[in-house]
Amino acid sequence: MSTAPQPPRTYNQNHAPRKYTSGKRRVSIYWTWSYPWEANRDTTELDNRFSTMTEVRRVAWPAYEGAEWDEMHFLQGIAGTLELFHRSTLAFQKVVGEVTGNPVAVFQRIDQAGYKLPIDERILADTDTLMVFGLDHVVSEQEAASEEIAAVREWLGREGTCLLLGPHHDVGFTQDLKQRQMEYAHHGDALVPRQQRFGQYTRSMMKGLGVPVMNQFGLRPALVRGTRQIAPLTINRDLDKLGLLNGVTTFNFHPHLPHYALTTQDTKSVNVLTRQPIDLDRPHPFTEAGNTEFNSCIWMPPNARHAGHILLADSTSFTTLFGGVESLETFWKNLATIPLASTVQAMKTHALA
């Protein structure tokens, strides 16, 4: 059976701004990494780097043994793994594009060609939902500049905006090698080293914006006993005023997800919408401390400091690299259809009408 040809792909072009249309969100993804720094990591280093594509092929064999993954057609070093992340958001981009009528813009802090793009008006002017995917290794020292924080703060003053922050896991942050080994055995992913710390850029952005959350650990979700199905989320539906979780029961399975720990007691400004049950058959310091679930989705409603919404959810919830379910696609659609500003307010605040 033949398949429909895919649209032609473009590369190395400047972003074409999307015009404002009432009720139609414009969604943008921002990868916080320096692509060259990550791709150029010394592969003899054991920790704090992505796997090479060759390592992925070895561990996931035979999933990547088709001709489309060989050295003629695909990058075999760390860059190949970074491209897997890019490819894994294509389904999300397609779903959201169909729902909103707008293409999803994808930006990188420093891209393959070495162009650096901080978050500023060039990104924010035609963006209603900004998704900041925190997959920069801490040791790469990516920091949100004061100008970026100020630009995002001003943008969040626009009614209807939504900032989604997705700092990834922090595996093996301790100097205790026994604990690192325990964490490694817990998640069970041979491609993740004993220490892999992500998210310095998003951490600095959260600090600058006063978001009282810290990404911790890399925790393995529980499965429904006797199946390969991820255990359902514990959902605080009474707090879900946006309807983000309408029709949602699970996110996708990823063996090392961050716990979004609250650093405040102010439960009015920060709402934990979902908690994910943890695989308790695999010991971990977090579960040994008595925890059975981790915070996986957080919402900070508009208040006197920001008219827009602030969400926290891991970047893997928007990819298909680690599998996907119908529930996840429902979550994407709900996110894409969060109500925008009123018509009067929108006309005042959208320069790109």
101-121 per-position pLDDT tens digit: 999 999 999 999 999 999 999
Band of residue 11 on the pLDDT scale cut at 50, 70, 90 = confident
Looking at domain 27-349, its CATH class is: alpha beta
Q: Are strands 27-34 and 129-134 parallel, antiparallel or unpaired?
A: parallel
pLDDT above 80 (res 230): yes
The predicted pLDDT at position 325 comes to 72
DSSP 161-188: -EEEEEE--EET-SS-HHHHHHHHHHH-
Mean pLDDT of 37-59: 97
CA 172 to chain centre: 20
Band of residue 3 on the pLDDT scale cut at 50, 70, 90 = low
Taking CA 198 as the corner, what is the angle to CA 299 and CA 42, rounded to the nearest 5 degrees? 160
Mean pLDDT of 290-294: 98
The predicted pLDDT at position 321 comes to 65
The predicted pLDDT at position 288 comes to 98
Mean pLDDT of 316-321: 86
The predicted pLDDT at position 330 comes to 96
Mean pLDDT of 135-156: 98
**Count of Cβ atoms closer than 10 Å to residue 347 Cβ:** 12
Rounded mean pLDDT of the chain? 93
The predicted pLDDT at position 323 comes to 57
Q: Is 345 helix (H, G, I), strand (E, B) or coil?
A: helix
The predicted pLDDT at position 343 comes to 41
The predicted pLDDT at position 329 comes to 94
The predicted pLDDT at position 322 comes to 59
CA dist 266 → 157, 198, 205, 309 (Å): 21, 26, 20, 17
pTM for the whole thing? 0.94
Burial class (CB within 10 angstroms; exposed 0-12, middle 13-18, buried 19+) of 319? buried
**Count of Cβ atoms closer than 10 Å to residue 282 Cβ:** 17
The predicted pLDDT at position 138 comes to 98
Mean pLDDT of 157-175: 97
Quick one: residue 141, left, alpha or beta (phi over 0 = left, psi -120 to 50 = alpha)? left
The answer to whether the Cα torsion of 48, 70, 59, 313 is positive or negative is positive
Tokens of 350: 């959208």
Strand (E) or helix (H) holding 326: helix 326-336
Mean pLDDT of 316-329: 80
Mean pLDDT of 250-270: 93
Percent of the chain scoring above 70 in pLDDT: 95
The predicted pLDDT at position 326 comes to 85
pLDDT above 80 (res 334): yes
What are the extents of the domains in the chain?
27-349
Percent of the chain scoring above 90 in pLDDT: 88
The predicted pLDDT at position 56 comes to 97
Predicted confidence (pLDDT) per residue in 68-82, tens digit: 999 999 999 999 999
